[in-house]
Amino acid sequence: MELGYLSLVLAGLFGFVMAWGVGANDLANVMSTTMGSKAITIRQAIIIAIIFEFAGAFIGGMQVSDTVRNGIINTGALSHHPELLVDGMLAVLLAGTSWMLIASVFGLPVSITHTIIGAMVGFGTIVLGADAIHWKTVSFIAISWITSPLIAGFFSFLLFTLLQYLIFMRLGPFRHAKRYAPLLLFLIGIAVSTVSVIRGLGHLGFEIGFLEAVATTIGIGLLIMFIGTIMINRITPNPYSSRHNQFAEVEKIFGVLMLFTACAMIFAHGSNDVAIAVGPIAAIATIVKSSGQVLAGSHPPYWITFLVCTGVVLGLLMYGRNVIATVGKGITSLTPSRAFAATLAGAFTVVIATGMGIPVSTTQTLVGGVLGVGLARGIGALNMVVVRNIFMSWIITIPAAAVFAIIYFYALHFLFRL
């Protein structure tokens, strides 16, 4: 049997192309609320995507990557046939590539989480049988796919309704927006820092206790609150503005909030969805490095995470426009305040799940957040045709990924092992 570095080269190539598809679909979905609401400029969006996608993957994503590599199928059953696992992981990467690219062409925001895990279940069932699948882990993850958009939608509904009551329904909405903006900025800071403090610093070799973690998290929240407040204080309203123009000035404040909220959501995406894409490549790299041994629990090499992050960012820049149009404009009309409620609710949902090592879908949580905001405005504010198409694509993703993985596995096994 020859594993060699050809398998590793192919894993890097397939993984990069799949990461490109993730950027064109998954990351585009994450950026859709920010760019669809025109809260920030394209240049700002690009800078934020590069910085926080890399930061999330390197600081917060190790545990989720390990869940994908070792928690879905019983890799120990392939200890005497590591070439089968290599072929399977290559097939998973190709399956993810195919489905993400197809969905991106049609502008459908499908989930890389669904795609990778569905592909791994398909490969594992064919090669090892259904008993080799860790169905308890899979069912736990599947439940999170249902609950995460519901939770994000619920929180975005509550948050947007609260913003309406505290700001938009009051006399002098600009004054009220400035009053509550520091608290909202603090919440954004908590969302950004939670994963990095609780788990990420441990991966970087820094061991801190509970009190230190709480103090650091609060400190980051206060820092973001301070910086954001300075930016908001630069927005000066016209005291003679009409009520309609006052709303426009309030949206400028939420534009600043969205700048920070986008950072939180992209960090969450890097720590969860990018880590999922890293998993199959890391499994192959571990086998090649260990001369064919199937090892569990080792951290993926940093070059793999860097490769995947680079592909994700390029995919967003080169072909993310279709998904951005679907989620950012197609589901419901978004303003910075509406996008803020949807994105912050989605960020907290993903951050909490990542802290528990659960590979939830950023796509689903953000779409759930947008739906929650739309429902808060009334069912008529939702484009139900777009919503139906999105839900159908979610249902199709798992079996489609499984079928692709099976086809690619047999093709690769025929080409390289016979």
Strand partners, 133: 73
Please give the helix or strand (H or E) that residue 397 lies within, else none. Answer: helix 384-417
> Could you give the CA distance from residue 292 to residue 303 in angstroms, rounded to a whole number?
20
What pLDDT score was predicted for residue 1? 42
Cα separation values, 354 from 56, 349, 363, Å: 11, 9, 14
What pLDDT score was predicted for residue 7? 83
SS3 category, 289? helix
Q: Assign 3-class secondary structure to 342-390.
A: HHHHHHHHHHHHHHCCCCCCHHHHHHHHHHHHHHHCCHHHCCHHHHHHH
> Could you give the CA distance from residue 218 to residue 301 in angstroms, rounded to a whole number?
31
What pLDDT score was predicted for residue 224? 92
What pLDDT score was predicted for residue 47? 87
What pLDDT score was predicted for residue 191? 76
Residues of the chain with pLDDT under 50: 1
Q: 360, 367 in Cβ contact below 8 A?
A: no
What pLDDT score was predicted for residue 180? 93
CA dihedral 105, 263, 384, 338 (to 10 degrees): -150
> Could you give the CA distance from residue 354 to residue 286 in angstroms, rounded to a whole number?
23
Q: Quick count: other Cβ atoms within 10 Å of Cβ 63?
A: 22
Residue of 198, 13, 30, 200 lying closest to 97 (CA atoms): 13
